[in-house]
Amino acid sequence: MLARAMDHAMPALPDGAGVDGSERRTIDELAAAVGLTVRTVRFYASKGLLPPPHLVGRVGWYDDSHLARLTLVRDLQEAGFTLQAIEGFVARVPDDATADDIAVFHALLAPWVAAAPDEVSREELDELAGRRLDDVAVDDLVAAGSIEVLDDGRIRVRPADLELGLQLLDLGVPRAMIERSRALIDAATGQLAEDLAALLRQHLLRPYLQGQVPEEQRAALAGVIARLKPLTIQAVLAAMQSSVDRAVRERVDRSRPTG
């Protein structure tokens, strides 16, 4: 029954190409291109995350827009999004979105950090840390935001975050200070992230969806967004460094004796 649903009829394609002239693939080729099993592809399709194939005779063919949409779903799940969250987002991607359209959505949602977190056991965490971590050390790393302990006891971690947390532990920074610093940073960056996301939607995504971006620039927009991300992070870091510098200088100036 599910296989028949996957082959739900759409306008037939001429031999040789997808609906927009892009490469066409069987479901086996589509699954292989994204590194998934056919069973997983069929499951995603049953959830409405992948449009039906185009039929040529009795064979269902998938084009580049299917590939782009399936890649988006896979990457979102690997980034830790729940299936429900993915369904909600994909539902907002127009059914007639091209591969370039989906690439723009993908660029906006792709993680802003280079590496997705791994899920490891306590023993594997010790191996990553290069030392035996007791419960107090693990709690300190959680307080620093360096690791996340999941409900099943496994630990979500990025090596770079772990290294930062370990350095804080080695410095002997009190947990109360770590927790307060994290709360301050989370509060400031949370609002900043919302404001920056709104700017991206207003100045890049909305004009794109409304057809206001020139045709010659549309295909390049996903790359522009991807390049903006590290530049934005660098700008935020530079601004924070300048702000801290300025605050320290002002505090020193106020403490100087006058007269």
| Nearest Cα residue to 72 out of 48, 46, 90, 45 | 90
What are the Cα distances from residue 116, in Å, to 20, 119, 177, 192?
A: 33, 10, 27, 22
- When comparing pLDDT for 127 and 114, which is higher? 127
pLDDT, one tens digit per residue, over 64-86 is 999 999 998 998 888 778 888 88
Enter the tokens of residue 48. Answer: 């409405």
Alpha-carbon distance 120 to 136, whole Å? 18
Alpha-carbon distance 104 to 205, whole Å? 8
% of the chain surpassing 90 pLDDT: 31
Contact 117, 158 (CB under 8 A): yes
β-bridge mates for residue 62, sequence order: 25
Region at 55 (left for phi over 0; alpha for psi -120 to 50; beta for the rest):
beta
- pLDDT value of position 213: 82
Contact 26, 62 (CB under 8 A): yes
Round to the nearest angstrom and report the end-to-end CA distance of the chain: 89
pLDDT at 153 over 80: yes
- pLDDT value of position 81: 80
Q: 75: which residues sit within 8 A by CB, 6+ positions away? A: 106, 110
Neighbours of 31 (CB within 10 A): 19
Alpha-carbon distance 47 to 71, whole Å? 15
Average pLDDT over residues 16-42: 82
Record the pTM: 0.56
Alpha-carbon distance 136 to 134, whole Å? 6
pLDDT at 227 over 80: yes
| Nearest Cα residue to 189 out of 126, 125, 155, 232 | 232
pLDDT, one tens digit per residue, over 47-67 is 999 999 998 888 899 999 999
Alpha-carbon distance 242 to 240, whole Å? 5
Alpha-carbon distance 98 to 88, whole Å? 19
Question: DSSP alpha helices (H): ranges in 47-114?
Answer: 64-78, 83-90, 99-109
Enter the tokens of residue 228. Answer: 């903006």
Contact 155, 119 (CB under 8 A): yes
